[in-house]
Amino acid sequence: MGEMDTIVDGGTGPVPFDAPLLEADQERYEVQEELGRGGVGTVLLCVDRQIGRPIALKVLRDPGSDPREGLARFVREARIQGQLEHPSVVPVHDLATHDELGVYFTMQRVRGVTLATLLRRLQGGDQDSAVHWSRRRLLEAFGRVCLAVDYAHERGILHRDLKPANIMFGEYGEVYVLDWGLAGRDPSAEESERPKGFDDEMTRPGVVFGTPGYMPPEQVHGFHDKLSPASDVYALGAILFELLTLTPLHAGDTPEARYASTIGRLDARPSSRAPGAYVPPELEAIVVRAVDRHAEERFPSARALQRAIERYLDGEQEEEQRRKLARRHAEAAHDALEELRTDPDDRPVREEILRELGRALALDPTNQAALGALVEVMSTPPRTVPQEVRERHQRELDDRLRKVARAAMGAYASMFVYLPFMIWAGIREPWPIVWLYVGVGVAFVASLMCTRAKERPQRYAMVAMLFSNLGIAATASIFGPLFLTPAVLGSNTAAYALHLDGVKRWIAVGSAVVLLLGTTLLFFAGGIPGGYAVEGGALVIASGSVQLVSSVYALLLVLGMGVVLTGSIVTSQTRDQLVKAELSLHVQRWQLAALAPTRV
């Protein structure tokens, strides 16, 4: 993970050290092996012969260029650590001198793995570590670290060197904050809260101490009077960033590079720095606040940081329960899906699947299994349309038919406009005209009843269609059955046929064909007045019911425009309905595509 050593730079002058140390029992501790070695001290595994237990004994190995100053720091570490009686602070048993070992202090021997080692394993893809140390477990342990640091803060002590290497996780759930060698007084603490029995020589101007990459900006600048609990909160935030992303907050191979990163305007959002780690927004907000460049914008205490983590974990625990329930419902849906693949028309099974999927997605909208199953169900409609769907669809068809009936009423009413013209031109045979307007009048009334019918409007539409076609057939007495009648008859029939279903549609088409054929036969048989004649290469129309005058052209124009408009309007409405239906299908398809998991 690129762990860097602690740096102490710039200390000058002697450090007062007047507290005497007692001489130890020279035979009490039996040295067995070396456990570890740091910059100035060595930790030995010893046996306390008096009590009969293993202990860790730390001796001053290298006091540095000024032995008196190095000795003072060593003693200060023991005294600070000894004053912090907390389960996450390794207890100090003894501080004394030894003829061979020199100054030493003894501690409880702890076993475990440092967070730095654990993060290296996780970064290397160690599966055992990944299984044993879930993100939740790491966050719970991190929360206990925060509480231990807060305990020290409440006693006026700042750690000032928090980093993954100084955090240890024990074999049985223990959490330890190690190495209090750089700990010092909190300048912001009340005098009564400050620890007793040591001097803090590193707070003199010019002294830079800590670990690059974990020190806050005020510590990097050497503003020791500005250090506060928020300074340790910054280090905890840097550790939290690394714990979540497995990458350091401040990258760089040298202290100078990490100093520059700390002082500069760094993007601390895990989502942008390590998008593959998938850090939830709630945790990201916690990290960003903890490592804010300005101390007053950070969490005011390590306990506040721990509470933020705890709130997230409480919410995550509830969310995990919801995800478990969602998985259970999704599995039930998948089991039933096998039956549906065999029989798509099994309605109870389909309803059960949709209920289970609805519950699963209500609990966890991101459940991929439920989303995939939902897409499959929606993409596999039943072969037999459910009765409720049929009824709903029929209601929509009836509404459309009522709209057609309203338009037909206008068209039938407009045909009465032609009556004065025919009377003015002169009526030769009245019964075809009576036939025409009786049929149109009955069709008008039937259309009116169709618009008002709450149920089964198709029966009135059928009456309107049949009588209107009968009336239209009477126009064969004016221009013959082959000139205008087929166009008007076809336009009228098409308007109804588009909105009738099944047998009724074929009755509409069949009745129009029969009427056209019957009218043509009657016309040429003399049953309908009028006739056609070919004279000099021209077709001569002899009207049998109306006297044709020169103004008949206007009548033909109006009739022709009526046919064109009727056909165009019906076609346009039909097209609009089809486009609307297609758009609805495309919208549904788009929604399903957005709903579907990426792997489906």
Domain boundaries, the chain: 7-300, 320-379, 387-585
Give the other-Cβ count within 10 Å of 149's Cβ: 28
Task: Please give the pLDDT value at position 13.
Answer: 38
228 CB-near residues (< 8 Å, 6+ apart): 158, 186, 187, 188, 295
**Using CB atoms within 10 A of its CB, is residue 246 exposed (0-12), middle (13-18) or buried (19+)?**
middle
Task: Please give the pLDDT value at position 484.
Answer: 80
Task: Please give the pLDDT value at position 44.
Answer: 93
- Secondary structure of 454-475 in HEC code, one letter for each residue: CCCCHHHHHHHHHHHHHHHHCC
CA dist list (Å): 285 to 240, 274, 281, 298, 364: 12, 15, 6, 11, 23
Residue 507, SS3 per DSSP: helix
Cα 222 to Cα 180: distance, rounded to the nearest angstrom: 19
150 CB-near residues (< 8 Å, 6+ apart): 229, 301, 302, 303, 306
CATH topology of domain 7-300: Transferase(Phosphotransferase); domain 1 (1.10.510)
Q: Give the pair of three-digit tokens for residue 26.
A: 């020279």
Q: What does the pLDDT profile of the chain (600 residues) look like in tens digits? A: 555 666 555 543 333 444 566 666 778 899 999 988 876 789 999 999 999 999 999 998 777 657 787 888 888 889 899 989 999 999 999 999 888 888 899 999 999 999 999 999 999 989 999 889 999 999 999 999 999 999 999 999 999 999 999 999 988 889 999 988 888 888 877 655 555 555 555 555 556 688 999 999 999 888 888 899 999 999 999 999 999 999 999 988 888 998 898 888 888 999 889 888 888 889 999 999 999 999 999 999 999 999 999 999 888 767 778 888 888 888 888 888 877 777 766 677 878 888 888 888 888 888 888 888 887 877 777 777 777 777 887 888 888 888 888 888 888 888 887 788 778 777 888 888 898 889 989 999 999 999 998 888 888 888 988 998 888 888 888 878 887 888 888 888 887 887 777 788 888 888 889 988 998 898 888 888 887 777 777 877 787 787 776 666 666 676 677 667 766 776 676 677 777 777 877 776 676 666 555 543
Q: First CA to last CA across the chain, in angstroms?
A: 37
Name residue 105's beta-bridge partners: 58, 95
Cα 489 to Cα 496: distance, rounded to the nearest angstrom: 11
Give the other-Cβ count within 10 Å of 600's Cβ: 15
Name residue 530's beta-bridge partners: 543
144 CB-near residues (< 8 Å, 6+ apart): 88, 175
Whether residue 353 contacts residue 375, with contact meaning beta carbons closer than 8 Å, is answered with no
Which run of H or of E encompasses 95?
strand 92-98
Task: Please give the pLDDT value at position 386.
Answer: 72
Give the catalytic positions in this structure. Answer: 161
Task: Please give the pLDDT value at position 17.
Answer: 43
Crossing angle for the helix pair 135-154 and 302-342, nearest 10 degrees?
170
Task: Please give the pLDDT value at position 5.
Answer: 63
